[in-house]
Amino acid sequence: MGRRYDPERRQRIIDAAIAVVGERGMGALSHRSVAAAADVPLGSTTYHFATLDDLLVAALDQVNAEWLADMERWERDAPPETPLADGMAGLMELLLTGDRKRLELEYELYLAALRRASVRPIAAAFLDRMTELLERRTADRGVARAVNALFDGMLLQILLTGREFDREEARAAFARVTGA
């Protein structure tokens, strides 16, 4: 019997890797766990992704693309007269009251770059793109980077501590950074 043509297999493997990390964390990511989740032979995962880092890069690239698409929609749809501090606080609230598991997954994959050098270029490109999006609202690259850092830092602290989100506190912090 010949090989079965399966043009969606690579994508199913990436989706399965994201699902494994989302459900069980980075420690559970292996070719074997992904093959089981994707319902493909183990050899398929290593055929498409020679190393776990290759698979992780593909997964992070996909998650980042989704995040950036959401951010681009947010930036495009936000009324131009809305102060950036208000917009960022509202976005944080939206993210924290939405699919929190997705948010945790996105940060878990993003933070994988701390220990995996192969993932760092993907994380760096994501940060640069976020800065570009925010720069449309600030016209100042330094302020855009600071807003992005504050946004990530505040979200991570809330996710890590389980503290309640305080929209006014977030708005005031963004206002200080933006000088508004």
Q: Residue 145, Cα to own-chain centre: how many angstroms?
A: 17
| Residue whose pair of structure tokens reads 């992704």 in the numeric block | 49
Average pLDDT per 10 consecutive residues for the chain, totaling 180 residues: 71 96 91 95 93 92 89 87 92 89 85 87 91 91 96 94 94 94
Residue 165: DSSP 8-state: P
**Structure-block tokens of residue 109:** 């994959």
Closest by CA position to 62, among listed 6, 19, 116: 19
Read out DSSP for 99-119?
A: -HHHHHHHHHHHHGGGT-GGG
Q: Which helix (H) or strand (E) holds 88?
A: helix 84-97
Q: How far apart are CA 62 and CA 35, in angstroms?
A: 18
Cβ of 55: how many Cβ atoms within 10 Å? 24
Q: How far apart are CA 80 and CA 171, in angstroms?
A: 17
pLDDT at 2: 45
pTM here? 0.84
pLDDT at 3: 57
pLDDT at 99: 83
| Residue whose pair of structure tokens reads 């800065």 in the numeric block | 131
Q: How far apart are CA 52 and CA 14, in angstroms?
A: 11
**Structure-block tokens of residue 88:** 């960022």
Q: Where are the alpha helices (DSSP H) in 112-140?
A: 120-138
Cβ of 104: how many Cβ atoms within 10 Å? 15
| Residue whose pair of structure tokens reads 């493909």 in the numeric block | 40
**Structure-block tokens of residue 5:** 């043509």
pLDDT at 145: 96
pLDDT at 41: 93
